[in-house]
Protein backbone atom coordinates (compact mmCIF):
# COMPACT_ATOMS: atom_id res chain seq x y z
CA UNK A 1 0.00 0.00 0.00
CA UNK A 2 1.36 3.41 -0.97
CA UNK A 3 1.96 6.16 1.58
CA UNK A 4 -0.77 8.25 -0.07
CA UNK A 5 -3.31 5.42 0.25
CA UNK A 6 -2.38 4.91 3.91
CA UNK A 7 -2.81 8.61 4.62
CA UNK A 8 -6.18 8.55 2.92
CA UNK A 9 -7.31 5.53 4.91
CA UNK A 10 -6.00 6.94 8.18
CA UNK A 11 -7.66 10.26 7.44
CA UNK A 12 -11.00 8.58 6.76
CA UNK A 13 -10.72 6.55 9.97
CA UNK A 14 -9.87 9.65 12.00
CA UNK A 15 -12.78 11.55 10.47
CA UNK A 16 -15.13 8.68 11.33
CA UNK A 17 -13.87 8.69 14.95
CA UNK A 18 -14.35 12.44 15.17
CA UNK A 19 -17.92 12.13 13.95
CA UNK A 20 -18.71 9.25 16.33
CA UNK A 21 -17.32 11.06 19.37
CA UNK A 22 -18.95 14.33 18.34
CA UNK A 23 -22.34 12.64 18.13
CA UNK A 24 -21.87 11.17 21.59
CA UNK A 25 -20.70 14.41 23.19
CA UNK A 26 -23.20 16.63 21.39
CA UNK A 27 -26.04 14.34 22.48
CA UNK A 28 -24.80 14.20 26.09
CA UNK A 29 -23.69 17.79 26.64
CA UNK A 30 -25.04 19.81 23.76
CA UNK A 31 -23.00 21.51 21.07
CA UNK A 32 -22.51 24.74 23.01
CA UNK A 33 -21.17 22.92 26.08
CA UNK A 34 -18.78 20.71 24.11
CA UNK A 35 -15.40 22.30 23.47
CA UNK A 36 -12.92 21.52 20.70
CA UNK A 37 -10.61 20.28 23.45
CA UNK A 38 -13.32 17.87 24.64
CA UNK A 39 -13.61 16.49 21.12
CA UNK A 40 -9.87 16.19 20.62
CA UNK A 41 -9.39 14.37 23.93
CA UNK A 42 -12.28 11.98 23.21
CA UNK A 43 -10.88 11.11 19.77
CA UNK A 44 -7.27 11.01 20.95
CA UNK A 45 -5.92 13.59 18.51
CA UNK A 46 -4.67 17.16 18.70
CA UNK A 47 -7.00 20.11 18.27
CA UNK A 48 -5.11 20.92 15.09
CA UNK A 49 -6.00 17.50 13.70
CA UNK A 50 -9.68 18.28 14.21
CA UNK A 51 -9.35 21.49 12.23
CA UNK A 52 -7.79 19.58 9.34
CA UNK A 53 -11.09 17.73 8.97
CA UNK A 54 -13.63 20.39 9.95
CA UNK A 55 -13.33 24.17 9.80
CA UNK A 56 -15.04 24.62 13.17
CA UNK A 57 -17.10 22.87 15.81
CA UNK A 58 -20.19 24.48 14.32
CA UNK A 59 -19.32 23.20 10.84
CA UNK A 60 -18.91 19.71 12.28
CA UNK A 61 -22.30 19.94 14.01
CA UNK A 62 -23.98 21.13 10.79
CA UNK A 63 -22.40 18.46 8.61
CA UNK A 64 -23.29 15.72 11.10
CA UNK A 65 -26.92 16.77 11.11
CA UNK A 66 -27.29 17.20 7.35
CA UNK A 67 -25.52 13.94 6.48
CA UNK A 68 -27.40 11.81 9.04
CA UNK A 69 -30.72 13.43 8.18
CA UNK A 70 -30.08 12.67 4.51
CA UNK A 71 -29.32 9.04 5.41
CA UNK A 72 -32.71 8.81 7.12
CA UNK A 73 -34.39 10.27 4.05
CA UNK A 74 -32.68 7.77 1.78
CA UNK A 75 -33.70 4.91 4.07
CA UNK A 76 -37.34 6.01 3.84
CA UNK A 77 -37.08 6.20 0.05
CA UNK A 78 -35.57 2.71 -0.01
CA UNK A 79 -38.52 1.42 2.01
CA UNK A 80 -40.87 3.15 -0.44
CA UNK A 81 -39.15 1.41 -3.35
CA UNK A 82 -38.94 -2.03 -1.76
CA UNK A 83 -42.31 -2.43 0.00
CA UNK A 84 -45.75 -2.40 -1.57
CA UNK A 85 -48.71 -0.74 0.13
CA UNK A 86 -48.87 2.00 2.72
CA UNK A 87 -49.33 -0.17 5.79
CA UNK A 88 -46.26 -2.26 4.96
CA UNK A 89 -44.18 0.83 4.25
CA UNK A 90 -45.32 2.61 7.39
CA UNK A 91 -44.69 -0.45 9.53
CA UNK A 92 -41.13 -0.75 8.26
CA UNK A 93 -40.42 2.96 8.68
CA UNK A 94 -41.66 2.86 12.28
CA UNK A 95 -39.65 -0.31 12.95
CA UNK A 96 -36.49 1.32 11.61
CA UNK A 97 -37.09 4.50 13.63
CA UNK A 98 -37.51 2.48 16.82
CA UNK A 99 -34.40 0.46 16.01
CA UNK A 100 -32.45 3.68 15.53
CA UNK A 101 -33.51 4.83 19.00
CA UNK A 102 -32.55 1.48 20.56
CA UNK A 103 -29.29 0.89 18.69
CA UNK A 104 -27.96 4.42 18.11
CA UNK A 105 -29.29 6.54 20.97
CA UNK A 106 -26.61 9.20 20.52
CA UNK A 107 -27.60 9.76 16.88
CA UNK A 108 -31.31 9.76 17.71
CA UNK A 109 -30.76 12.20 20.56
CA UNK A 110 -28.56 14.47 18.47
CA UNK A 111 -31.08 14.72 15.64
CA UNK A 112 -33.93 15.34 18.07
CA UNK A 113 -32.19 17.92 20.26
CA UNK A 114 -30.48 19.89 17.49
CA UNK A 115 -33.15 19.95 14.80
CA UNK A 116 -34.09 23.57 15.53
CA UNK A 117 -30.55 24.72 14.71
CA UNK A 118 -30.22 22.87 11.42
CA UNK A 119 -33.57 22.04 9.80
CA UNK A 120 -33.67 25.40 8.06
CA UNK A 121 -30.50 24.38 6.20
CA UNK A 122 -31.85 21.00 5.03
CA UNK A 123 -32.65 20.97 1.29
CA UNK A 124 -36.33 20.42 0.51
CA UNK A 125 -35.64 17.49 -1.83
CA UNK A 126 -36.74 14.02 -0.61
CA UNK A 127 -33.21 12.61 -1.06
CA UNK A 128 -31.91 14.92 1.67
CA UNK A 129 -35.02 15.65 3.74
CA UNK A 130 -36.61 12.92 5.86
CA UNK A 131 -39.91 14.81 6.19
CA UNK A 132 -40.14 15.29 2.42
CA UNK A 133 -39.37 11.60 1.90
CA UNK A 134 -42.07 10.61 4.40
CA UNK A 135 -44.51 12.99 2.71
CA UNK A 136 -43.99 11.03 -0.54
CA UNK A 137 -44.98 7.82 1.24
CA UNK A 138 -48.09 9.54 2.56
CA UNK A 139 -48.96 10.94 -0.86
CA UNK A 140 -48.75 7.39 -2.21
CA UNK A 141 -51.27 6.32 0.44
CA UNK A 142 -53.64 9.09 -0.63
CA UNK A 143 -53.27 7.83 -4.18
CA UNK A 144 -54.26 4.35 -2.97
CA UNK A 145 -57.53 5.73 -1.67
CA UNK A 146 -56.64 6.49 1.94
CA UNK A 147 -58.19 9.70 3.27
CA UNK A 148 -55.24 11.33 5.02
CA UNK A 149 -54.85 14.81 6.51
CA UNK A 150 -53.73 17.32 3.93
CA UNK A 151 -51.26 18.62 3.02
CA UNK A 152 -48.94 15.62 3.14
CA UNK A 153 -46.47 17.61 5.25
CA UNK A 154 -49.11 17.86 8.00
CA UNK A 155 -49.66 14.12 7.89
CA UNK A 156 -45.87 13.66 8.05
CA UNK A 157 -45.63 15.94 11.10
CA UNK A 158 -48.40 14.02 12.87
CA UNK A 159 -46.72 10.72 12.04
CA UNK A 160 -43.33 11.86 13.31
CA UNK A 161 -44.89 13.09 16.54
CA UNK A 162 -46.36 9.68 17.23
CA UNK A 163 -42.91 8.11 16.92
CA UNK A 164 -40.86 10.77 18.68
CA UNK A 165 -43.05 11.20 21.76
CA UNK A 166 -42.92 7.49 22.73
CA UNK A 167 -39.13 7.74 22.31
CA UNK A 168 -39.04 10.72 24.68
CA UNK A 169 -41.11 8.75 27.20
CA UNK A 170 -38.65 5.85 26.88
CA UNK A 171 -35.73 8.22 27.57
CA UNK A 172 -37.31 9.31 30.85
CA UNK A 173 -38.39 5.83 31.90
CA UNK A 174 -42.11 6.37 31.36
CA UNK A 175 -42.20 3.70 28.66
CA UNK A 176 -40.46 0.36 28.93
CA UNK A 177 -37.59 -0.30 26.54
CA UNK A 178 -36.77 -1.46 23.94
CA UNK A 179 -38.83 0.92 21.86
CA UNK A 180 -38.89 -1.66 19.05
CA UNK A 181 -41.26 -3.75 21.19
CA UNK A 182 -43.82 -0.95 20.82
CA UNK A 183 -43.38 -0.52 17.05
CA UNK A 184 -46.51 -2.51 16.07
CA UNK A 185 -48.70 -0.56 18.50
CA UNK A 186 -47.19 2.74 17.31
CA UNK A 187 -47.90 1.76 13.71
CA UNK A 188 -51.50 0.90 14.53
CA UNK A 189 -51.91 4.19 16.35
CA UNK A 190 -50.57 6.16 13.38
CA UNK A 191 -52.90 4.35 11.00
CA UNK A 192 -55.90 5.19 13.17
CA UNK A 193 -54.80 8.79 13.62
CA UNK A 194 -54.37 9.24 9.87
CA UNK A 195 -57.66 7.54 9.12
CA UNK A 196 -55.87 4.95 7.01
CA UNK A 197 -57.19 1.39 6.79
CA UNK A 198 -55.42 -0.90 9.25
CA UNK A 199 -54.02 -4.18 7.96
CA UNK A 200 -56.28 -7.16 8.36
CA UNK A 201 -55.41 -9.51 11.19
CA UNK A 202 -55.06 -13.16 10.33
CA UNK A 203 -57.61 -15.35 12.06
CA UNK A 204 -56.15 -17.63 14.71
CA UNK A 205 -56.59 -21.35 14.31
Q: Where are the domains of the chain?
A: 1-54, 58-194
Compute the residue count for the chain. 205
Residue 203 region by backbone torsions, left for phi larger than 0, else alpha for psi between -120 and 50, else beta: beta
Give me the architecture of the 58-194 domain, per CATH: Orthogonal Bundle (1.10)
Burial class (CB in 10 A: 0-12, 13-18, 19+), 106: middle
Give me the architecture of the 1-54 domain, per CATH: Orthogonal Bundle (1.10)
- How confident is the prediction along the chain (205 residues), in pLDDT tens digits per residue? 544 434 445 578 889 999 999 999 998 888 999 999 999 999 999 998 899 999 999 999 999 999 999 999 999 999 999 999 999 999 999 999 999 999 999 898 899 888 889 999 999 999 999 999 999 999 988 877 778 888 888 999 999 999 999 999 998 999 999 999 999 999 999 999 988 765 554 444 3
Burial class (CB in 10 A: 0-12, 13-18, 19+), 164: middle
pTM of the model: 0.85
CB 76 within 8 A of CB 50: no
Asked, as a colleague might, if the bond just before 89 is cis with ω within 30 of 0, I would say no
Amino acid sequence: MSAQMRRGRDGAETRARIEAEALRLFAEKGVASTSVRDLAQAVGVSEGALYRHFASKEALARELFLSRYAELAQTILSVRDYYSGFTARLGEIVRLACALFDEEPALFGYLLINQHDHLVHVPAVPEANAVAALALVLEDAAGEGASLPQPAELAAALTLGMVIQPAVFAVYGRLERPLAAHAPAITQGILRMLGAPAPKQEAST
